[in-house]
Amino acid sequence: MSAPINFKPNSVRRFALISVCLAPLLFAGQAFAQVNALATATDDANAPQLETVVVTAQKRSENLQDTPISVSVLSAKALESRRVVSLLDLGDGAIPSLKVTPFFSRPGALVINIRGVGVMSDSNQPARDQGVGVYVDSVYMGRPQGLNSALYEVESIEVLKGPQGTLFGRNTEGGAVSIITKKPSGIGRANATVGVGNFGQYKTELHMDLPKTGDFSVKIDAIAAARDGLIENPLITASDFGELEKRGARVAILWEPTANFSADYAYDNSYDASTTLYQQLIEGGSARLAASVQLQKTRAKTAIVGVPQQPSVGKTWGHRLGLDWQISENLRLKSITAYRDLYQDQYDNGSAPSTMSLTQASGVFTGQQFSRMSTAVFNQDQFSQEFQLIGETNRLKYVAGATYFVENVDDNAQAFFTNQFTDATGLANVVLSLDYSKIVLDRASRVKSTSSGIFAQGTYTPAILADKLHVTVGGRWSHDKKVGELYIVNGALPSVNGVVGPRKLNASWDRIDPMINLSYDLSDDTMLYAKYSTGFRSGGANSRSLDYSPFKPEEVTMYEIGAKIEFLDRRARLNLAAYSGTYADMQIDFSARYRQLDPVTGALLVTTRTTQEATNAPGKGDLKGFEADFVIRATDNLTISASYANNSVKIPDTLNPFPQADGRLITVPIPIHQTHTPENSGSVSIDYQRPWLGATLIAHLDVNSNDGMYLSLVDVAYDPVTRAVTVPAPKGEGGTIANGRLALADIKLSNSASLTVSLWSRNLFNEEHLYNKSLNLSNGTTGFFNEPRTYGVDFKIKM
């Protein structure tokens, strides 16, 4: 791992970091002194107002303040201020109800929850799905793998909170994330960015919007970004932990042969190589630790042992064709066709410290293997088609459509130890010489999933109450089907109750997802609404299981009330939402080591295979929460934003229906924790902009905080009879992260070119917290720390 670069002397670098933080605050006092004066200037046409935010949450372009659902939007400007390269950069809490974390063994895959709903366990399997849908230009991304790829030039990111089953369909029980890229404009413009930072970081971007030629406009985007590891691997021939490399390109072509018809085609290709995160050992357990183990209670710079490690590589590519026909002034027909392909491999050896305790009956470490390498290969291709008919009459706005989605997915996985102790105390070890290709597969499965749906939604404004009441009703019929098989378990065909052969999956489900929404325009600047909606996460099967039994879809029903308010002559905006609902047929995993008999001695053996069985929990969980988004344009130069979310998820105690390794059945339900969900989260940002020295000075500071979350569904230990919790699951620590950017923009280079120079920092104050925590009674407490402070400088040229 290369050392952090010093592109300036230490004193100057410290001054730059402090400036990023303090610049907005230095101007804040002056700005607030002007707020009272501005508040009385409501008749001044030149008084600063907030920009109108346009969203497409209801399949048509609308003002955010006229859209009666809870939506948060990050504009292109906000994404640049926060230096967002991929969706993972939203994980620090830019939108409090949205939680984004990496899947630890393959950081190219993301875990995404909204309002505490979406993922409770491993969704990186062929027959499993997430409960938050991610869309890029209205194309559904079917897998969590690949979601951490670099983003191309983005117009906005919309986060739709709460079930979106009516308009978006399957796998949107928690909500949806809609990424909207910038389209070809035909104007003829370009921009290029080059940046460097500590930990060997670099980023290059090129965006070319070519002049229109005939009926065609073309846009080309390319990006490359990389970073050295954050934690050094002592094995010098291996990769460090936390390395990343991203690159990709996108070509978009817009054809406009007539005034009422257009076709837009896009092709994208991305590459994402990253190494696993490093799991530190915080406290020892009951078992004796190897002499070489050092507890690491603060964020480590170097791992305690060198292990084989290499990047996990993800590759995605796809085609999209959109057709848009304006049939008449009030009727529009759209078609969105897409094909995508995904490859993801995995090399995860980041948890060595958790395997360095004594397990041998001999009482010595000599010959004991440790450091579990988990490898996997995942392939997916998908095809999707959607038709939308969008129209309106004097009092009715409506959208109707049909969708079809099919994907083919296969994966295989294996796990094995890579190191071995060579002395009795565990002080010395060697790296084993292994041919990964000759190690038997722990599991392999393949699945074909198909989904079809028909939906319609209409908003009617009755001729009463001065046209201030709006009634929206919608519904969707969905049909999902999954056909596949688990065909390898521990290097052989599965064997269940004496029957040997692939375990087949053939299951289908039909659903109706209704939505009812009443909204009322209390004034020109205030709208109140009440909403009822449902959504679901598709059923499937767990490929870590032994018999591949199907589980049913998971369902969320939610009631929501909200208000959207603008005041101070539209210089301030306050959006509020409160919700309550139920969580039914929750897909719960129970884990245990799979045990088998030694064919020679007949003794029980513990394998490295992770075995899970999935079931739908009985009863219903309770969901409730509150959200607030506030923004004020205090002056022409200063904008202040604040957001808060309280998300509470209560899951009923659940019975583990599966036999334990010794054959016993547990007959008493146990508590279940909702994962990846802080109960309280908040974010504050300050943006300042003013002319300075013939250019534009831009300063941004955001501060994001949460109170921690669980990463394990179940507790650590229970009373063997009553099943009362004797050792609770540890909760990951919350933290407060500040990010900043200070830029000088619009530096004139020529009549047609300008330069922006920006200093930036993420985790500005190098705050440290153990956001992921787990406990094993024998091996001890382990976890992952948040990333250290990163900083750098970017140069951007616009032409």
Instruction: Point out which residues pair with 154 in neighbouring strands.
Output: 181
Burial class (CB in 10 A: 0-12, 13-18, 19+), 187: exposed
User: Burial letters for 676-712: b for 16+ Cβ neighbours within 10 Å, e otherwise?
Assistant: bbbbbbbbbbbbbbeeeeebbbbbbbbbbbbebbbbb
Pull the structure tokens for residue 181. 């890229």
Question: Which region holds residue 442: left if phi is over 0, alpha if psi is between -120 and 50, else beta?
Answer: alpha
Please report the pLDDT score of residue 166 as a whole number: 96
Q: Taking Cα atoms as reference points, which of 100, 141, 135, 142 lies closest to residue 119? A: 100
- Distance between CA atoms of 3 and 11, rounded to whole angstroms? 18
CB contact at 8 A, 793 and 758: yes
Number of helices (H) and strands (E) in the chain: give both, helices first.
2, 43
- Residue 330, domain member (yes or no): yes
- Distance between CA atoms of 410 and 469, rounded to whole angstroms? 50
- Distance between CA atoms of 9 and 506, rounded to whole angstroms? 64
CATH of the domain at 744: 2.40.170.20
Query: How far is CA 173 from each of CA 119, 445, 643, 668, rounded to the nearest angstrom?
Result: 10, 26, 22, 29
Pairing mode, strands 132-136 and 175-181: parallel
Instruction: Spell out the residues 6+ positions from residue 688 whose beta carbon is closer than 8 angstroms to its own.
Output: 23, 24, 27, 28, 31, 637, 638, 639, 697, 698, 699, 700
- Distance between CA atoms of 191 and 799, rounded to whole angstroms? 6
Please report the pLDDT score of residue 181 as a whole number: 97
Pull the structure tokens for residue 234. 């002592």
The 3-class secondary structure across 107-122, one letter per residue, is CCEEEEEECCECCCCC
- Distance between CA atoms of 541 and 445, rounded to whole angstroms? 10
Give the DSSP letter of residue 663.
S
Please report the pLDDT score of residue 338 as a whole number: 99
Please report the pLDDT score of residue 750 as a whole number: 93
- Residue 3, domain member (yes or no): no
3-state DSSP call for residue 11? helix
Pull the structure tokens for residue 84. 């967002």
Domain of 440, in residue numbers:
10-798
CB contact at 8 A, 250 and 220: yes
Give the DSSP letter of residue 160.
E
- Residue 5, domain member (yes or no): no
pLDDT digits (tens, 9 = 90+) for 333-348: 999 999 999 999 999 9
- Residue 26, domain member (yes or no): yes
Phi (first) and psi of residue 352, to 5 degrees: -55, -45
Q: Taking Cα atoms as reference points, which of 242, 233, 251, 302 lies closest to residue 273? A: 242
Q: How many domains does the chain contain in total? A: 1
CB contact at 8 A, 93 and 683: yes
CB contact at 8 A, 432 and 397: no
Q: Which uninterrupted H or E stretch holds 26?
A: helix 10-39
Cα 718 to the center of its chain, rounded Å: 33
- Residue 113, domain member (yes or no): yes
Residue 12: CB atoms within 10 A of its CB come to 11
Say which amino acid occupies 744: L
Instruction: Spell out the residues 6+ positions from residue 757 whose beta carbon is closer than 8 angstroms to its own.
Output: 743, 744, 747, 793, 794, 795, 796
- Distance between CA atoms of 172 and 646, rounded to whole angstroms? 20
Burial class (CB in 10 A: 0-12, 13-18, 19+), 614: buried
Q: What is the pTM of this model?
A: 0.91
- Residue 699, domain member (yes or no): yes
3-state DSSP call for residue 137? coil
CB contact at 8 A, 732 and 687: no
CA angle 252/203/150 to nearest 5° reads 45
Phi (first) and psi of residue 134, to 5 degrees: -110, 125
Give the DSSP letter of residue 552.
P
Residue 210: CB atoms within 10 A of its CB come to 18
- Direct distance between the N- and C-terminal alpha carbons of the chain, in angstroms, rounded to an integer: 37
Residue 411: CB atoms within 10 A of its CB come to 22
Query: How far is CA 31 from each of CA 25, 43, 459, 703, rounded to the nearest angstrom?
Result: 10, 20, 41, 19
CB contact at 8 A, 700 and 685: yes
3-state DSSP call for residue 28? helix
Give per-10-residue mean pLDDT for the chain (799 aa).
39 37 40 43 64 94 96 96 94 94 86 92 89 97 93 95 96 97 96 98 97 97 97 97 96 98 98 96 96 96 97 97 97 98 96 94 95 95 98 97 98 94 97 86 95 98 97 98 93 80 95 98 98 97 90 97 97 98 92 53 54 86 97 97 96 82 76 92 98 96 96 86 88 96 96 96 97 93 97 97
CB contact at 8 A, 759 and 22: no
Burial class (CB in 10 A: 0-12, 13-18, 19+), 383: middle
pLDDT digits (tens, 9 = 90+) for 576-625: 999 999 999 999 988 765 544 445 555 544 455 667 888 898 889 999 99
- Residue 662, domain member (yes or no): yes
In angstroms and rounded to an integer, the radius of gyration of the C-alpha atoms of the chain is 27
CB contact at 8 A, 112 and 621: no
Phi (first) and psi of residue 428, to 5 degrees: -120, 150
3-state DSSP call for residue 557? strand
- Residue 108, domain member (yes or no): yes
